[in-house]
A and B are shown apart, each in its own frame.
Chain A
Amino acid sequence: MNQPARALVSAPTVSSARSILERIAAHLSRVVQGKETQARLTVTSLIAGGHLLLEDVPGVGKTTLAEALARSCGLSFARIQFTADLMPADILGAQVFHASSATFSFRQGPIFRQLVLADELNRAPPRTQSALLEGMAQGQVSLDGNTHPLPSPFTVVATQNPLDLTGTYPLPDSQLDRFLMRLSLGHPSPEVEARLLITRGRTPPVEELEPVTGPEELLGLRGLASELRMDAAVAEYVVRLAKATREHGDIERGASTRAVLAVGAAARAHALWEGRDFVTPGDVRAVLVPCLAHRLMLRSNVQGAAAREEASHLLEELSRKVAAPR
């Protein structure tokens, strides 16, 4: 892989980017306490230009996290509760007939926001899911022969309940591939829960969060991250890791090329977090499980959370075994 000889991004820019990212993460940690790592990965996913899948039991702060992210970044926000009777038009919008002028006009659905929270995505029928996923993939919505571009930046944070799968429509693996990362918040630690009990009344509500950046600056950060240098050895390391997932005996289908690109994008964003203008093998390992675990198809029959957990273990094992470049 040919790389330019000079560093693409000057240090001060990277330095200022890091401070912005840290301020966003600090905002998230104010409302979702004890989840610093997840907060950090959430911001990483946003900077990498990907969509995020939060998979966890209800009541651990998924919605709060997404809303806090939108507010911190100054993004327009919409929350869509996916239910079994949710129709595509409920998301995308519809053509409305105006009797007075005998014309139709397009009324935008909630998807036309910069950050969309698709709560309990697996409860909606596949047709509705597809409407959302198409928007995620194309960055635009097609309705009645008309194309409507989605705002920029556009990010979907979807949630799923991995335990209670009865009456749900689990996302197909091919659709899961569209999410850059999958995160699990998990229950907070007892100490955090106790602190929550004590400080509940004083915890600032999400509505009080002031933006620390704006959509334009966020786009700038995305552009900055995409330009960070990735050494040929690191790129080869990513490919070797992906290849190892494809050749592993317990994995039926390993990481796709889109997954490899996702790891690369996320690793670049992670490097920005670290204040570097280049990617290290450590950046790759840091984002490996969140980026790949939900994309692997295992040979075992386990489903849901158990499958995700097994995939995570396998990836951690591979990251130990596949030698990093020195």
Chain B
Amino acid sequence: MSAPSRLRLALRDLGAGAAFGSMVVSGQLPVWTVAAFALSLVFALLGWRVFAKRAKATAVLLLGMAGLLGFSVYVGQLDLVVAACSFAGLIAGHRMLSTPEARTDGQVQLAGLLMVAGGAALSGELIFAVFLVAFCVFASLSMGLAVVEAAVPEGEPLPVRSVVRPLSVGLLFAVSGAVAFFILFPRLNWNVAARRASPGLGATTGLSDTVRLGGAGTLKSNPRVVLRAHITPDPGVDQLGSYWVARTYDTFDGQEWTSVGGPKRSRQRVTLRPGGESSLHQRIELLPAYGARTLVALETPTRMGNAVAHTASGNRRTSLMELGGGEVRFVDAGLGYSYEATSLPPEEDASTKMTEAELGQLLALPDRLDPRVAELARTVLDGEKEPLAAARKLSSWLQREYAYTLELQGDVEDPLADFLFVRKAGHCEHFATALTLMLRTQGFSARLASGFFGGERSDEDYILRAGDAHAWTHVLVPDRGFVTVDATPPGNRASQSMAALQLLTGLYETLESHWRSAVVDFSLRDQMDVAQRFIRPPRDSGRSSTRLPPARVWGVALLAGLVTYGTWRFLAARLSAPRPHTATRLVDTVERMLREAGVRPHEGETLEDLTARLVREHHSLAEPLAPVTRRYLEARFGQRPLEAGEAERLLTPLRRYLEARRAPAPSSGAGSQRSAS
């Protein structure tokens, strides 16, 4: 197989890879299918068509895999759509490793189309769009080269250089046109086929029902934005530094925290505690990267409601359910959510709206608590009786004596004792657990709270990243209620990812946000609204109303007309202009080289005339120039086209000659130049 054919096959396989990637970004494909396809792609790109001689025999493998996928669907482990997408990928992989011929090419391309459609059904992420465009580019280039290859007689080289450029230009126009068409014209939501949506790659699993010490330690470095909140009144600071509570835990069994109390009835609006005059109103959007259903709000939330779930088939209102530990959860599943919440500053929460069971748990200790914990707390507190002062004293001591680390070892039998007496280093959950339990050993009521800490300004909103996930302690203070005390060293509370990574992620988040609002969620109604806003005359009470569109409409229309006319003129000129002959480009190059070397032809003297004159004059330039001219004439007027790379080969001796002339030179060179110019 010739090298150009390898290029075409590589483009074909890369196109299939991009199509498969558009499904992978949904995060729903089984790992083994991803691995199988990835292996096929690597083999195909290396040119190892391992199924070439045993296409039929190896097709049995596909049957086995189809059976496996079918079984997964039957037992409910896999969605039917996901299974179909996975099988399309496996077929493509098998075909890529088979003998490259017209039939397998078509099958790979068709499977690519199916996979892209599958990717659209599984997710509407920005990365999907990237893979979609990549598939379009690779597959189109591959098909274009296939057409050229079919036209080239057997054994002749494929003119890759001369076809890839116009192909690429055409493709650029096609992709631009497709993007413009996609944005300008109304469309159906492409995600209607999916039964369940996925937050995609890089999303955090969010909050769970329990907090297990020694769990997810890398969350701190995850810069993906999980929450966006508009706060009224606007705090007006760049770094908010607030606690965003999701839920609290009151029961610790030595390994993990849980809450007592069961679910209550679902309703549209949940009131957790009475409001106050200094309430902060938040319009919160939980982004797909959040990946959980627990509502988050600034401490201390009083009310939550007006919740909307962003699902695959559109937005819909959703009810809320209150669970134990003050957790409020969305009833319906969705990619993301938006809702409103109001919160009081923590110090103003005097209520302890808790059940007896919940109150009783605030002093509960695990059965096998290391006795050294109580002893240590007693020593540190040194007779302190006031809960808040005791909590703060313990907190300061913990921050001073213990180190913060995200490096966690495997499960240990007693993680608290391990933290306090062995490693003396841990992350926020260790600090919060230690503080809570040490307080409880001394008879102070306390619980663990989890959520986020921080709040970074982004335009007029505040954002939280996955790395801002945090745990802290609520200590119950008589007449004041729960007061937040954070034992984690201050510098380690918020996200600790690299600034550059945050910047890149921020950029991605912005793009994704625009993608969602301008493409995925941009419906026909949105388009109509934009058009209405654009052409509606401005309201001006002081002047009589007019039905004419505002001046900006005329301005834009004029501009659009001018741009269209200019583009048309430009394209018309470009298209009607004769394409320069390949040989003509050779002449242009030669003449430019001669000009740069100071050799100028007489008026009206062509390269042919100049060469003939130099030959007559026995000029030294004639020797390197004559072969170039002779070959140019053959190519231009004698129908013997230049071969690929021939022009460069022809020019080499001439270039060497002219460079030698230009070098600090003997006087004879000057004489030659005079006679030539």
Interface set of A (CB-CB < 8 Å, partner B): 3, 5-7, 229, 231, 233-234, 276-282, 285, 319-321, 324-326
Given contacts A278-B634, A319-B604, contact A326 B584 (CB under 8 A): yes
Considering only residues 226-277 of chain B, those with a C-beta below 8 Å from chain A are none
Question: Could you name 28 residue pairs across A and B whose Cβ atoms are closer than 8 Å?
Answer: A5-B639, A229-B637, A229-B638, A229-B639, A231-B636, A231-B639, A233-B636, A234-B637, A276-B638, A277-B638, A278-B633, A278-B634, A278-B637, A278-B638, A278-B639, A280-B608, A280-B633, A281-B606, A282-B608, A282-B609, A282-B612, A321-B604, A325-B637, A326-B581, A326-B587, A326-B588, A326-B606, A326-B636
B603 close to A (CB within 8 Å): yes
Please tell me which one of the listed residues B581, B603, B606, B640 contacts residue A324 in the complex, with CB atoms under 8 A apart.
B606
Return the chain A residue nearest B637 by Cβ: A231
- In angstroms, Cα B96 to Cα A106, docked, is 88
Chain B residues closer than 8 Å to A280, beta-carbon distance: 608, 633, 637
**Chain B contact residues: helix, strand, loop or mixed:** helix
- In angstroms, Cα B637 to Cα A3, docked, is 11
Interface set of B (CB-CB < 8 Å, partner A): 581, 584, 587-588, 603-604, 606, 608-609, 612, 633-634, 636-640
Chain A residues closer than 8 Å to B581, beta-carbon distance: 326
Chain B residues closer than 8 Å to A325, beta-carbon distance: 636-637
Return the chain A residue nearest B580 by Cβ: A326
Chain B residues closer than 8 Å to A277, beta-carbon distance: 638
Q: A320 near B587 (CB under 8 angstroms)?
A: no
- In angstroms, Cα B419 to Cα A193, docked, is 119
Q: B612 near A7 (CB under 8 angstroms)?
A: no
Chain A residues closer than 8 Å to B612, beta-carbon distance: 282
Q: B633 near A276 (CB under 8 angstroms)?
A: yes
The 9 closest A-B pairs by CB, nearest first: A320-B604, A278-B638, A282-B608, A231-B637, A326-B584, A324-B606, A280-B633, A278-B637, A280-B637
- In angstroms, Cα B581 to Cα A7, docked, is 19
Please tell me which one of the listed residues B603, B633, B639 contacts residue A6 in the complex, with CB atoms under 8 A apart.
B639
Return the chain A residue nearest B606 by Cβ: A324
Chain B residues closer than 8 Å to A7, beta-carbon distance: 638-640
- In angstroms, Cα B639 to Cα A280, docked, is 12
Chain A residues closer than 8 Å to B636, beta-carbon distance: 231, 233, 325-326
Chain A residues closer than 8 Å to B603, beta-carbon distance: 320
Please tell me which one of the listed residues B588, B604, B637 contacts residue A233 in the complex, with CB atoms under 8 A apart.
B637
Chain A residues closer than 8 Å to B640, beta-carbon distance: 7
Q: How far is the CB of B634 from chain A (nearest CB, A)?
A: 7
Q: How far is the CB of A283 from chain B (nearest CB, A)?
A: 9
Return the chain A residue nearest B603 by Cβ: A320
Q: How far is the CB of A44 from chain B (nearest CB, A)?
A: 16
**Other 7 A-B pairs with CB < 8 A, given A280-B633, A280-B637:** A6-B639, A7-B640, A229-B637, A282-B609, A321-B604, A326-B584, A326-B636
- In angstroms, Cα B603 to Cα A7, docked, is 32
Chain A residues closer than 8 Å to B637, beta-carbon distance: 229, 231, 233-234, 278-281, 325
Return the chain A residue nearest B609 by Cβ: A282
Return the chain B residue nearest A316 by Cβ: B604
Chain B residues closer than 8 Å to A231, beta-carbon distance: 636-639
Return the chain A residue nearest B585 by Cβ: A326
Q: Which of B587, B588, B612, B638 has the most CB of A within 10 A?
A: B638
- In angstroms, Cα B639 to Cα A6, docked, is 7
Chain A residues closer than 8 Å to B609, beta-carbon distance: 282, 285
- In angstroms, Cα B609 to Cα A320, docked, is 11
- In angstroms, Cα B608 to Cα A326, docked, is 10
- In angstroms, Cα B606 to Cα A281, docked, is 9
Return the chain B residue nearest A276 by Cβ: B638
Chain A residues closer than 8 Å to B634, beta-carbon distance: 276, 278
Q: How far is the CB of B636 from chain A (nearest CB, A)?
A: 7
Chain B residues closer than 8 Å to A324, beta-carbon distance: 606
- In angstroms, Cα B640 to Cα A147, docked, is 47
Q: How far is the CB of B579 from chain A (nearest CB, A)?
A: 13
- In angstroms, Cα B640 to Cα A229, docked, is 12
- In angstroms, Cα B619 to Cα A255, docked, is 36
- In angstroms, Cα B100 to Cα A65, docked, is 71
Chain B residues closer than 8 Å to A276, beta-carbon distance: 633-634, 638
Q: How far is the CB of B614 from chain A (nearest CB, A)?
A: 13
Chain B residues closer than 8 Å to A278, beta-carbon distance: 633-634, 637-639
Return the chain B residue nearest A6 by Cβ: B639
Q: How far is the CB of B507 from chain A (nearest CB, A)?
A: 49
Q: How far is the CB of B71 from chain A (nearest CB, A)?
A: 62
Chain B residues closer than 8 Å to A5, beta-carbon distance: 639
Q: How far is the CB of A229 from chain B (nearest CB, A)?
A: 7
- In angstroms, Cα B606 to Cα A325, docked, is 9
- In angstroms, Cα B587 to Cα A324, docked, is 13
Chain B residues closer than 8 Å to A229, beta-carbon distance: 637-639
- In angstroms, Cα B634 to Cα A281, docked, is 12
Chain A residues closer than 8 Å to B587, beta-carbon distance: 326
- In angstroms, Cα B639 to Cα A3, docked, is 10
Return the chain A residue nearest B605 by Cβ: A320
- In angstroms, Cα B636 to Cα A282, docked, is 13
Return the chain A residue nearest B584 by Cβ: A326
- In angstroms, Cα B581 to Cα A113, docked, is 48
Return the chain B residue nearest A230 by Cβ: B637
- In angstroms, Cα B633 to Cα A277, docked, is 11
Please tell me which one of the listed residues B584, B608, B638, B639 contacts residue A281 in the complex, with CB atoms under 8 A apart.
B608
- In angstroms, Cα B608 to Cα A320, docked, is 13
Return the chain A residue nearest B581 by Cβ: A326
Q: How far is the CB of A32 from chain B (nearest CB, A)?
A: 21
